């Protein structure tokens, strides 16, 4: 009989354990519920739902824009790093449209005289911002997809690199420092 009582007590322990504090529902834990309390500020690099406003409406309007970012070593380094992240998949690390998919999607050679001498910095910035026939937009979302990945300033750093640093690269493969 005593063994039976001990067995019954041992079987009852799990049901008692369910009432301990660690078995509370997650919904009832201390936390801040949505729309409750003072709103904390957004992180510095967060982007509003509607994106970062762009002052021009299309690539054509961007043609005459003047680059507000001076060509410095720091700007060229930022532009090179952004180029590697966003542009090199299609245009290749050297900008010569030498990536494995360049010929399949029609990516242009960014070291060509037409791009380097004929296209204005504003036009290049507008192309990065609004995209083109096959290139997605990196400044504003559009019907081709696109995104708001690059701030206006970051786009100008990429332009600085394309126009002033890409041809001056000493190696055929760009390395991130």
CATH of the domain at 97: 1.10.760.10
By CB neighbour count within 10 A (0-12 exposed, 13-18 middle, 19+ buried), where does 92 fall? buried
Return the pLDDT at 8.
Answer: 73
Contact 163, 116 (CB under 8 A): yes
- The values of phi and psi at residue 67, to 5°, are -65, 115
Return the pLDDT at 174.
Answer: 47
Return the pLDDT at 2.
Answer: 77
Q: Considering the domain boundaries, does residue 79 fall inside one?
A: yes
Q: Considering the domain boundaries, does residue 81 fall inside one?
A: yes
Biggest CA pair distance of the chain: 100
Q: What is the mean pLDDT of each run of 10 residues along the chain (177 residues)?
A: 74 60 64 70 69 75 92 96 93 91 89 93 93 84 67 93 87 48
Residues 6+ apart with CB under 8 A from 79: 157, 158, 159, 160, 161, 162, 165
Q: What CA dihedral angle connects 165, 64, 67 and 116, to 10 degrees?
A: 0
Q: Which domain does 83 fall in, by range?
A: 59-165
CA-CA distance, 125 to 131, in Å (whole number)?
10
Give how many domains the chain has, as a whole number. 1
By CB neighbour count within 10 A (0-12 exposed, 13-18 middle, 19+ buried), where does 142 fall? middle
pTM (2 d.p.): 0.67
CA-CA distance, 107 to 86, in Å (whole number)?
13
Residues 6+ apart with CB under 8 A from 61: 126
Return the pLDDT at 168.
Answer: 84
Q: Considering the domain boundaries, does residue 52 fall inside one?
A: no
Q: Considering the domain boundaries, does residue 25 fall inside one?
A: no
Return the pLDDT at 106.
Answer: 87
Return the pLDDT at 4.
Answer: 74
By CB neighbour count within 10 A (0-12 exposed, 13-18 middle, 19+ buried), where does 162 fall? buried
CA-CA distance, 84 to 13, in Å (whole number)?
61
Q: Considering the domain boundaries, does residue 41 fall inside one?
A: no
Q: Considering the domain boundaries, does residue 24 fall inside one?
A: no
Return the pLDDT at 85.
Answer: 93
Return the pLDDT at 3.
Answer: 77
Return the pLDDT at 45.
Answer: 73
Q: Considering the domain boundaries, does residue 18 fall inside one?
A: no
Return the pLDDT at 79.
Answer: 96
Q: Considering the domain boundaries, does residue 74 fall inside one?
A: yes
Contacts 24+ apart (CB under 8 A), 42-49: 47/148
């Amino acid at each position: 009989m005593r063994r039976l009582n001990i067995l019954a007590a041992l079987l009852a322990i799990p049901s008692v354990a369910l009432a301990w504090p660690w078995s509370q529902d997650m919904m009832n834990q201390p936390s801040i519920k949505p729309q409750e309390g003072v709103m904390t500020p957004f992180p510095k690099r967060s982007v509003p739902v509607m994106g970062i406003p762009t002052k021009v409406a299309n690539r054509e309007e961007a043609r005459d824009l003047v680059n507000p970012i001076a060509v410095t070593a720091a700007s060229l380094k930022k532009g090179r790093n952004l180029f590697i992240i966003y542009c090199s998949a299609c245009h290749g690390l050297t900008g010569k449209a030498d990536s494995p998919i360049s010929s399949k999607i029609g990516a242009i050679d960014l070291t060509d005289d037409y791009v380097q001498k004929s296209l204005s910095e504003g036009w290049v910035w507008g192309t990065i911002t609004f995209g083109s026939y096959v290139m997605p937009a990196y400044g504003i979302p559009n019907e081709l997809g696109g995104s708001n990945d690059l701030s206006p300033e970051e786009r100008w750093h990429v332009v600085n690199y394309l126009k002033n640093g890409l041809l001056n690269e000493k190696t055929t493969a760009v390395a991130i420092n």
